[in-house]
Amino acid sequence: MANKAFTPNSVSTLRHRSTHSPAANTGTVHITLNTPLSEIVISKNISLYEKLLGHTALDALAHFPTNIVKKIYCSSLTSENVGHYITTMVEPIAHFAPARKGGMYKIQCKVLPSGDLLDLIFFYKKVSTRFLTFAFAVGKPKPIAGKLEQNAGYYSITHPMTGNQALQKSQSNSKITNAHNIEVIYPQIAGITSSRIHNIITTILQNIKEPSEWHEDGHPYPSFIKAAEEIHSPTSLDVLQAQNSLAYQRLLHDELLAQQLAILLTRNQTKSLKGLVIHPCSALQTAIKFLLPFELTEGQKEALHRIEKDMASGKPMLRLIQGDVGCGKTIVAALAIANAIAKDQKGEGYQAAILAPTDILATQHMATLAPIFETHGYQVALLTGKITGKKRKKILEDLAEGAIHLLIGTHAVIQEHVHFKNLALVIVDEQHRFGVEQRTRLTNKGHAPHLLSMTATPIPRTLQMTLCGDLDVTSILEKPVGRKDILTSIHNVNKVQEIVAKLKKSLNSNHKAYWICPLIEESESLDYTAVKDRFAYLKKHFGGHVGLLHGKMTPKEKDVIMDAFKNGIVNILVATTVVEVGVDVKTANIIIIEHGECFGLAQLHQLRGRVGRSNTQARCLILYEKLPPVAKERLKAMRDSNDGFYLAEMDLKIRGSGTMLGIQQSGHQPFQFYKGEQPKLLQNLLTKAHNEAKTIIADDPTLISLRGQALQELLHIFRKENTLNILRSG
């Protein structure tokens, strides 16, 4: 990578660390991939840098550039430069603000010294008038860079960049044609420019220690650091495109290999332990089944059979139950819990825990399961972040003493001060919302307890082995008897008034409806209807029968509005995707999803699953404003199928595994070096990494060989500390 000075005048400066190396005395900074960013960058706003770049040198290197600008300097404009990124000096002449909100803002300039006219175009929602009038003051020369375009004979640049590199070249009278004279463009946030990001990453790469090589001789990749250098100092756009770049593939492959090693090593270690032998408890199970208003489906019976076989095997169960929305996974889990907590002849039994990703889902499980078990004398408790004080203290005491038989909760359950007396069964719901290490933290609260994961987002067969390599997978394919397919239709958003009119007739029949919007408040960068705006609009038509629910509300506010919706005080619930999982209102049979084109198939299917939870006919109306080809393909799949397994395969085909698993929706990015493009490449590398990890562990199960030690370094780099602890403990 070309040398680039990191000057003391930069907003971010280097922190000199004392080391035993003489180089420390000369100001050299020694960096590893795990060095905290706070030791590399000195800034009062270090939290801002960490928000953008992450907490370590590795995180910063994973902040890939998204574009490059070949700095061709132009002192005059010609048609031969149209379509290229240029650097030039301009003098603003006049500002033309848009006539309406969201319109185009234009600044007319003359290029120096030729005097050629150039329009700078901005879209008002992205940049404020106040900023533009200050940054491009009339009569004050300004260096700019951007892609030159020509329309109807007029030259223009949309959202040009400004900066030191443009300034450095603006005084030159020669056109720069050197292919390596390139400016790298990074994703940025207010307060941190692309050039500052480049300075930080340059400093890391100039001072970082190359890790040991964990690939075998003959591999096609550059070294790990050389790969990062190629990405952050590209000579062309091809370097930034995964399918053309061995550098990109090296970094992603290494991350996937670390993940697969961690999964398989954890599974091997767990399966080597002696598990609790738990036989089916016919008495408690029979009593629970007697309370059910339905017969179990064949799929539920098969899933329960496999679970019972695992729990009686003497080895810890590691099983994933996947099934479509409404297929009855929860009752299967309840029957498994019955086996675990059933009291023996001495009046003793084990404990079970359910980990859910949201307060709403945890509360829903509490409402469903507590009456079932408490009827038979078993204590059930709910533990979430909002439960504090004496109530929380009492729950923790009873749990440690064994008085609580089933604990249901959110991330609060896996905190260090939560202790069980004899935890035998851990159930993780919506398992894709949790990592292997989070699940491990909960299972570590017992001695090799059985683990049952559940998901309503079916995983395609092509990815089950690689993404859930530590789990045995069972699928429930049927829905309960009597359930009807949800009728799905697609409409332009300008049909809202007609939909509202039809909704009035439906609500007169005592039906309930969800109205889903993608945003909470109006966004300056997105045109999607905000949930608050839609709530205000619908209140004009339905008055007090409309409720509002979104993620920024307090848990108490959410509980109040959900109770009002369930009890019929509110008939229309206007909400964000906070209702995606865990909301079970059987009288709701209409859902309207606004701007459906901005959701993935997995999330659309989950949202649609909020209705159709009884034997009455349910409907899903998906509204769109713009329908690009990819969105059109998604919505067509939604309209044509209610099969979650089919839609999961389609989601993988259309958008790739990261989105298919609901990761983007949950704010969870599974792979640092996967940027959401080229899903087939991800699949290929994931399969390759899985097979490689299997071979490695078969040959060197404790990673004690020379290569194994390098692979331990790989695990450390990607923060697989739990796996390293397993290796160290034998």
Which pLDDT value is given to residue 661? 38
Across the chain, what does the average pLDDT equal? 83
Pairing of strands 472-476, 512-516: unpaired
**Residue 582: what pLDDT?**
60
d(CA 561, CA 531): 15
pLDDT band at residue 683 using 50, 70 and 90 as cut-offs: confident
Tokens of 321: 């139950």
Q: Is the pLDDT of residue 107 over 90?
A: yes
| Residue matched to tokens 């359910």 | 354
185, 212, 242 - which closes a domain: 185
pLDDT score of 657 more than 60: no
Residue 93 clears pLDDT 50, i.e. is over it = yes
Strand bridging mode 149-151 / 154-158: antiparallel
CA atoms within 13 A on the CB side of 690: 15
- Ranges 295-299, 327-331, 575-579: which has the least confidence: 575-579
344-399 pLDDT per residue, tens: 777 788 999 999 988 888 988 998 899 999 999 999 999 998 888 999 999 999 99
- Looking at residue 84, its pLDDT comes to 81
Among 6-15, 473-482, 619-628, 671-680, which stretch is predicted with the lowest mean pLDDT? Answer: 6-15
Q: 233, 256, 289 — which closes off a domain?
A: 233
Instruction: Examine the domain organization and report whether 164 and 204 are in the same domain.
Output: no
* Residue 108 sits in the same domain as residue 154: yes
Given 125, 160, 185, the domain boundary residue is 185
Confidence of residue 615 (pLDDT cuts 50, 70, 90): confident
pLDDT of 10 above 50: no
pLDDT at 548 over 70: yes
What's the CATH number where 150 sits? 2.40.50.140
Specify if 349 maps to a domain.
Answer: no
With respect to residue 587, please indicate whether it lies within any of the assigned structural domains. yes
Q: Is 416 exposed, middle or buried (0-12, 13-18, 19+ CB in 10 A)?
A: exposed
- Asked, for residue 119, whether it belongs to a domain, the answer is yes
337 membership: H or E segment, kind and range: helix 329-341
Tokens of 206: 């100039």
Mean pLDDT, to the nearest integer, of 550-555?
82
Do 146 and 223 share a structural domain? no
Task: Tell me the per-residue pLDDT of 429-454, one tens digit each, with 9 for 90 and over.
Answer: 876 667 667 777 888 899 889 999 99
Structure tokens of 433? 């919302």
In a domain, 144, yes or no: yes
pLDDT band at 590 (very low <50, low <70, confident <90, very high): very high
- Residue 40 above 90 pLDDT? yes
Q: What mean pLDDT is predicted for residues 131-141?
A: 91
Tokens found for residue 511: 């039906």
**pLDDT value of residue 557:** 87
| H or E segment to which residue 371 belongs | helix 359-374
The CATH number for 512's domain is 3.40.50.300
What pLDDT sits at residue 527?
54
- As a whole number, mean pLDDT of residues 328-335 equals 92
Instruction: Please state, in angstroms and rounded to a whole number, the distance separating the CA atoms of residues 549 and 606.
Output: 17
Residues 511 and 612 in one domain: yes
Q: What percent of the chain has pLDDT over 70?
A: 85
**So what's the pLDDT on residue 629?**
85
More confident residue, 520 or 66: 66
Q: Could you tell me if residue 148 is inside a domain? A: yes
Residue 592 lies in a domain: yes
| Residue 113, preceding peptide bond in cis (omega within 30° of 0) | yes
The radius of gyration computed from the CA coordinates of the chain, to the nearest angstrom, equals: 29
Among 50-64, 373-387, 652-666, the minimum mean pLDDT is found in 652-666
57 close to 37: Cβ distance less than 8 angstroms: yes
Read off the pLDDT band of 55 (50, 70, 90): very high
**How many domains in the chain?**
3
* pLDDT for residue 649 is more than 50: yes
Instruction: Examine the domain organization and report whether 518 and 602 are in the same domain.
Output: yes
Sign of the torsion formed by the C-alpha atoms of 614, 618, 624 and 630: positive
pLDDT band, residue 670 (cuts 50/70/90): low
Q: How many alpha carbons fall within 13 Å on the CB side of residue 343? A: 13
Residue 18 has pLDDT above 60, yes or no: no
Question: What pLDDT is recorded for position 463?
Answer: 67
pLDDT of residue 522: 54
For the segment 288-298, the average pLDDT, to the nearest whole number, is 84
Higher pLDDT, 240 or 709: 709
State the pLDDT at residue 72. Answer: 78
Residue 135 has pLDDT above 80, yes or no: yes
Confidence bin at 659 (pLDDT 50/70/90): very low
How many whole angstroms separate alpha carbon 553 and alpha carbon 536? Answer: 17
Tell me whether residue 347 is exposed, middle or buried, using C-beta atoms within 10 angstroms of its C-beta: 0 to 12, 13 to 18, 19 or more.
Answer: exposed
> Same structural domain for residues 72 and 217?
no
Distance CA 459, CA 602 (A): 10
Q: What is the pLDDT of residues 229-270, one digit of tens each?
A: 999 988 777 777 766 789 999 999 999 999 899 888 888 888
The pLDDT assigned to 29 comes to 59
Q: Is the pLDDT of residue 667 over 90?
A: no
pLDDT band at 592, cuts 50/70/90? Answer: very high
Give me the helix-helix angle, 679-699 and 246-271, nearest 10°. Answer: 50
SS3 343: coil
Measured distance CA(237)–CA(240) in Å, rounded: 5
The pLDDT score that the predictor gives to residue 521 is 62
Closest by CA to 177, choosing from 62, 38, 84, 52, is 84
The dihedral built from the CA positions of residue 406, 411, 416 and 417, taken in this order, carries a sign that is: negative
In the predicted structure, residue 304 carries a pLDDT above the cut 50: yes
Residues spanned by the domain of 56:
22-64+193-233
Residue 44 has pLDDT above 90, yes or no: no
pTM of the model: 0.68
Tell me the CA end-to-end span of the chain in Å, nearest whole number: 42
Q: Cβ distance 597 to 463 under 8 Å?
A: no
Query: How much is the average pLDDT of 422-431?
Result: 90
Q: Are strands 182-185 and 318-323 parallel, antiparallel or unpaired?
A: unpaired
Domain co-membership, 204 together with 56: yes
Greater model confidence, 427 or 674? 427
Rounded to the nearest 10°, the torsion over CA 620, 623, 624, 630 is 0
Closest CA to 252 of 691, 708, 672, 586: 672
Q: Smallest Cα–Cα separation from 202: which of 51, 317, 319, 41?
A: 41
Q: 139-143, 167-171, 590-594: which range is least confident on average?
A: 167-171
Please tell me whether residues 56 and 90 are part of one structural domain.
no
DSSP conformation class of 486:
P
Asked if residue 213 and residue 101 are part of one domain, the reply reads no
Any residues with CB less than 8 A from the CB of 718 and at least 6 apart, and which?
58, 254, 255, 258, 259
Mean pLDDT of 320-335: 88
Helix (H, G, I), strand (E, B) or coil at 196: helix
Examine the domain organization and report whether 499 and 577 are in the same domain: yes
Residue 86 sits in the same domain as residue 214: no
Q: Pairing relation of β-strands 512-516 and 572-575? A: parallel
The reported pLDDT for the residue numbered 17 is 36
Report the pLDDT averaged over residues 159-177: 51
Q: Do 502 and 637 fall within a single domain?
A: yes
On whether residue 135 sits in a domain, the answer given is: yes
Report yes or no on 201 lying in a domain.
yes
Question: CB burial class (10 A; 0-12, 13-18, 19+) of residue 274?
Answer: exposed
